[in-house]
Structure 1
Amino acid sequence: MSDILKGAVLPAPTEPLDALASPLLAPESTAARPMWLKALEAVAALLGASITLLLFTGVLSRYILSSPIVWLDEVVSLQFLWLAMIGSVIAVYRNEHLRLGVFVDMLPEKLREYVHGFALMAMAAVLIALIPPALEYVQEEWHITTPAMEIRNSFRVSALLFGIVGMLAMVLGFAGRTVRMQPLILGAVLVAIVAATCWGLSPQLAKLGTVNVLIFMVGFVALSLLSGVPIAFCFAAGTISYLAFSSQVPLMVVIGRMDEGISSLVLISVPIFVLLGCVLDATGMGKAIVDFLASLLGHVKAGMSYVLLGSLFIVSGISGSKVSDMATVAPALFPEMKRRGQKQGDMVALLATGAAMADTVPPSIVLIVLGAVAGVSIAGLFNAGFVVAMVLLTTLMVLARWKARHEDMRGAKRAPMNLVGKLLLVAGPALVLPFLIRSLVGEGIATATEVSTVAVLYAMVVGHLMYGGLNARKIYHMLVDTAALSGTVLLVLGAASAMAWAITQSGVVQQLSHALTTLPGGVFAFMAVTILVFVVLGCLLEGLPAVLLLAPIMFPIAKTLGIHDVHYAMVVVCAMNVGLMMPPVGIGFYIACKIGGAKPDEVIGAIWSYLVALIVGVIVIAAVPWISTVAL
């Protein structure tokens, strides 16, 4: 295979890909980790393993033995909320919560420390404000018992209180160890002044009506976001401030909405598909797919670009994670692409936009979350995602072929058919997996949650037997990593759910709905606004939070205009992914640069043509509903 690729495989990046900016919380070394944290990681790993095995047992019992386990959903739901909140605490320790650090990093080092101090104190203030309503919520839920096992619901929702207190302890501990006292005191004073001012002005604020949405939901959230506060805490800060200072609604509603946003059984597939991505990386299943495609197409002009895009398309159908996809594909292909004369900036630009293209290929975590939040059929989203991704893939391939018109093809040889056959045999079990996922969900044999467990266990067994790379220690670390990453995603989901509810109750949605449904141009104008809004918010809010925040608001408007929900979902996700990769703010752009080993300055000039190709594809998808609905 090395004769075909003409380059050694580069090591995958080992440092955290989310720590693109100076860390808000600087984690200690692995050796210095306290025993209580190790115990917490062990509990998270045990919960992740238990959920996976229980769900798989449920699949076997229902479809093979025709005997569903009636108590299974209750036990899994309890474990899932605890997994999410423990993962959130671990993610705070690891500095893995999603945040926008671009603007903070532009500041002088001395000023940056004061901004960090403010951000830490803002996080602490949010968590302190949530403790009393979380405790009240636990007490209220004591009166509710589950139907099958008659477990008091307080045992499940106490995970929220545990997570809030745990994150507060983590934030305060790191604040004391990593930031000087003066910036912390100044940050605390500033937060206290803002809170006291709003409290004193609350009678006047209550009279402003929907203007408060701009003050708190936009102003406070934007200020927190620019200060480097993690996105989940930004949403929570805006919601808490809005309810506390301009309404009579008790803050326990925030905890209730967070619980509702996190606890949907559909979302249990999120950590399991994250685990699937970890298995993919550890076993090298993705690398086998890349090698096969390279032997098949590597000898033609623009062939390595086709291989990169095709690999992202297929591998995305296994991992569900853009970061995992890029880290799998780039090291295997970049050496040969560079030898053929492609510039580093062009390669990373193609990598970034290819990952954006592939995000609609199931098992896309974004599609799963969107389906849960907006009430859209996940099976329908999975079926439509393949076709939509093919449209975007075509636009990128056409541009890649044009750019490769001067490519140096000397030394590029067609791989012998016996080698192609051998690589196909090696890659075969991995190639089966995305089609297995799609067919099980599309045919209604298994739900998105159930199929995720089938996929994980299949990948573990086949990956270990055919590709190696798995052992008990690796599986344990993958389970802990899964808990931390899932905690970050689900905490954002919970905070966004609370914020979306507050915005809806304010009456802004009704005004917005009237404005958007009466736009000149009707459906086409609404689609144009949708694309623009989600591209911009995809830049600022790391994509997924934008979907979580606006989906409950925008989907009812789309339904009023007669737009098919799956069609609208495809437009939303594609536009969001364009924003995610758009410089100078899009976080996905910087992750691609980090994985590809290029400076952002090298890539900015090259990526715009690829982004234009993606936008053309998004416009075509928006204008032709048939593309999204033909596979339904």
Structure 2
Amino acid sequence: MEVLMLFAVFFVLLFAGIPIAFALGISSAAYLLTAGIPLTIVPQRMFAGMDSFVLLCIPGFILAGNLMNVGNITEHIVRFSNAVVGHIRGGLGLANVGGSMIFGGISGTAVADAASVGSVMIPGMAKAGYDKPFAAAVTAASSTIGPIIPPSVPMIIVGSLSGISVGRMFMAGVVPGILLALGMMITVYVLAVKRGYPKEKRATLKEILVEGKSAFWALLMTFIILYGIIGGFFTPTEASIVACLYAMVVGMFVYKGLNWRNLPKLFVDAALTSAALMMLVGLANLFGWILTSERIPQMIADGILGISENPLMVILILNLILLFVGTFMETIAALIILFPALLGVATGVGVDPVHFGIMAVLNLMIGLTTPPVGICLFVVSGIGEIRMSQVARAIIPFLLCNLAVLGLVMYIPAISLWLPNLVMGPAG
């Protein structure tokens, strides 16, 4: 009875448009009151969920992304991408994907990518003769690269939940992220040729070098973070602080978009975003504790293995569950609630934990661009001032592309595991 109350309240609130954190908290409180469990368990489980050293790096990476965004980094990234591929048919669409790939390696979040790159590219593409729904769809789809290319906030969550090395997760995301970008670029080019979208004037070698020099500092930031973590120079938490200091220096003295006056607002914005995210983590941990106490994860595992114990079939079922959940639930909450249980099922049939971690994050990222609830679709439709239904139709070719990449990642483990095993050695 109590479990039915839990899920009934949760889904009613979720589909009523209540923020996911409040839906988790209110439904958990309803369960506790119905079951007669003291509400003192709420702060205990919330604190237990947030009490992780690895999670300390999330505010740092959020602040670093804000600093680089305000420091004119987005404009330099887009200009460099356009200089390289703008002369190809649909070049601005290709530059959009390239810009998201680079920016995603800084912010680590899909929504920040969609908002930042979209605010520059959607109006620019519309002015150049592209359909607005197409421009918005490219922006939303390419934003999913952000949490796959390191650094990645969802991968940090995976590491905190499971004990998997965050550095290994970061490395495992590189090749799948590149495949996503290549797949989307091919999709953009095919659609551009079919619809007769324009192409830009070919940039000279000098222009490419000039724009490359401008974007160099953004690329270097990602390299510093990866090399520092993998080389053992600092932990992911320390890397986030290094990223903040680097972003502040580059934003102030290289790109010159930052100044002392706008720093307080950036700090406050980063603090508010981090506080909201940590509250979500805490409430999701409470919800997950209730599910564990009711043996829901064990029931899910038994149900999956009852259908089949064939590893290929189990992987397919796990991915279908994550895809479905990702269409309506926020990524961090979905990971906290589902990942530990599903990881046990995956490792039980021989799937490498890092491989499954990449699959889980990729599934949930695709959910961010899947109608009707995908949050990135709402972001780009607002920026482009177009109807959600138009973006939903335009995103379909990119969704198919992303699903094809997901299929490759699912059944070819080397795509995820080759690079971390090469650089860091096989997992012990």
TM-score range, shorter chain: over 0.9
Identify if the C-alpha distance between structure 1 residues 224 and 330 changes in structure 2 by more than 3 Å, giving closer, same or farther.
Answer: closer
Give the Å deviation of 1:400: 1.3
Task: Report what 2:424 is aligned to.
Answer: none
Task: Report what 2:327 is aligned to.
Answer: 539
1:337 corresponds to which of 125, 146, 150: 125
Structure 2 spans left out of the alignment, 5+ residues:
421-428
Give the Å deviation of 1:286: 2.4
CA RMSD of aligned residues (A): 1.9
CA deviations on 1:540-597 (whole Å, 9 max, x unpaired) are: 1222211121112211222222211111111111111111111122222111212233
Task: Report what 2:66 is aligned to.
Answer: 278
1:221 has 2:10 as partner: yes
2:399 corresponds to which of 583, 600, 611: 611
2:369 and 2:137 mapped to 1: Cα distance?
9
Task: Report what 1:252 is aligned to.
Answer: 40
1:582 has 2:380 as partner: no
1:267 has 2:55 as partner: yes
Please say if residues 108 and 146 of structure 2, whose CA atoms lie closer than 8 Å, have aligned partners that are also in contact.
no
Q: Which amino acid letter does the alignment assign opposite residue 445 of structure 1?
A: F
1:409 and 1:600 mapped to 2: Cα distance?
22
Task: Report what 1:458 is aligned to.
Answer: 246
Q: Which amino acid letter does the alignment assign opposite residue 228 of structure 1?
A: G
2:218 and 2:98 mapped to 1: Cα distance?
14
Please say if residues 91 and 199 of structure 2, whose CA atoms lie closer than 8 Å, have aligned partners that are also in contact.
no
Please say if residues 368 and 377 of structure 2, whose CA atoms lie closer than 8 Å, have aligned partners that are also in contact.
yes
1:551 corresponds to which of 333, 339, 345: 339
1:230 has 2:37 as partner: no
Please say if residues 298 and 414 of structure 1, whose CA atoms lie closer than 8 Å, have aligned partners that are also in contact.
yes
2:355 and 2:317 mapped to 1: Cα distance?
15
Please say if residues 359 and 410 of structure 2, whose CA atoms lie closer than 8 Å, have aligned partners that are also in contact.
yes
Identify if the C-alpha distance between structure 1 residues 406 and 560 changes in structure 2 by more than 3 Å, giving closer, same or farther.
Answer: closer
1:474 has 2:285 as partner: no
Q: Which amino acid letter does the alignment assign opposite residue 351 of structure 1?
A: T
1:369 and 1:606 mapped to 2: Cα distance?
31
1:366 and 1:541 mapped to 2: Cα distance?
14
1:252 and 1:369 mapped to 2: Cα distance?
25
Give the Å deviation of 1:482: 0.8
Q: Which amino acid letter does the alignment assign opposite residue 303 of structure 2?
A: A
Give the Å deviation of 1:339: 5.4
- Correspondences of 1:12-411 after superposition (within 5 Å): 205=1, 212-213=2-3, 215-246=4-35, 249-334=37-122, 337-338=125-126, 341-406=129-194, 408=196
Please say if residues 290 and 311 of structure 1, whose CA atoms lie closer than 8 Å, have aligned partners that are also in contact.
yes
1:265 and 1:454 mapped to 2: Cα distance?
16
1:383 and 1:556 mapped to 2: Cα distance?
22
Task: Report what 2:349 is aligned to.
Answer: 561
1:540 and 1:293 mapped to 2: Cα distance?
33
1:341 and 1:227 mapped to 2: Cα distance?
38
Give the Å deviation of 1:438: 1.3
Q: Report how many aligned residue pairs link the two structures.
A: 420
Structure 1 spans left out of the alignment, 5+ residues:
1-204, 206-211
Task: Report what 1:523 is aligned to.
Answer: 311
Please say if residues 298 and 341 of structure 2, whose CA atoms lie closer than 8 Å, have aligned partners that are also in contact.
no
Identify if the C-alpha distance between structure 1 residues 509 and 469 changes in structure 2 by more than 3 Å, giving closer, same or farther.
Answer: same
Please say if residues 216 and 239 of structure 1, whose CA atoms lie closer than 8 Å, have aligned partners that are also in contact.
no
Task: Report what 2:425 is aligned to.
Answer: none
- Aligned residue for 1:572, secondary structure, equals helix
Task: Report what 1:504 is aligned to.
Answer: 292
Q: Which amino acid letter does the alignment assign opposite residue 467 of structure 1?
A: Y
Give the Å deviation of 1:627: 0.8
1:438 and 1:530 mapped to 2: Cα distance?
29
- Which stretch of structure 1 is more off in the superposition, 388-397 or 404-413? 404-413
- Aligned residue for 2:386, secondary structure, equals coil
1:550 and 1:623 mapped to 2: Cα distance?
21
Q: Which amino acid letter does the alignment assign opposite residue 440 of structure 1?
A: G
Give the Å deviation of 1:453: 0.5
CA deviations on 1:294-333 (whole Å, 9 max, x unpaired) are: 1121111232222111110111111123233223323433
CA deviations on 1:337-363 (whole Å, 9 max, x unpaired) are: 335543111111111111013321111
Please say if residues 115 and 379 of structure 2, whose CA atoms lie closer than 8 Å, have aligned partners that are also in contact.
no
2:100 and 2:126 mapped to 1: Cα distance?
18
- Aligned residue for 2:130, secondary structure, equals coil
1:592 has 2:374 as partner: no
Give the Å deviation of 1:408: 4.8
If you compute each CA radius of gyration, which structure gives the higher value, 1 or 2?
Answer: 1
- Aligned residue for 1:584, secondary structure, equals coil
CA deviations on 1:397-424 (whole Å, 9 max, x unpaired) are: 2211211114657773211222222222
Q: Which amino acid letter does the alignment assign opposite residue 267 of structure 1?
A: L
Give the Å deviation of 1:475: 0.9
1:316 and 1:494 mapped to 2: Cα distance?
26
2:125 and 2:405 mapped to 1: Cα distance?
25
Identify if the C-alpha distance between structure 1 residues 255 and 291 changes in structure 2 by more than 3 Å, giving closer, same or farther.
Answer: same
Please say if residues 340 and 407 of structure 1, whose CA atoms lie closer than 8 Å, have aligned partners that are also in contact.
no
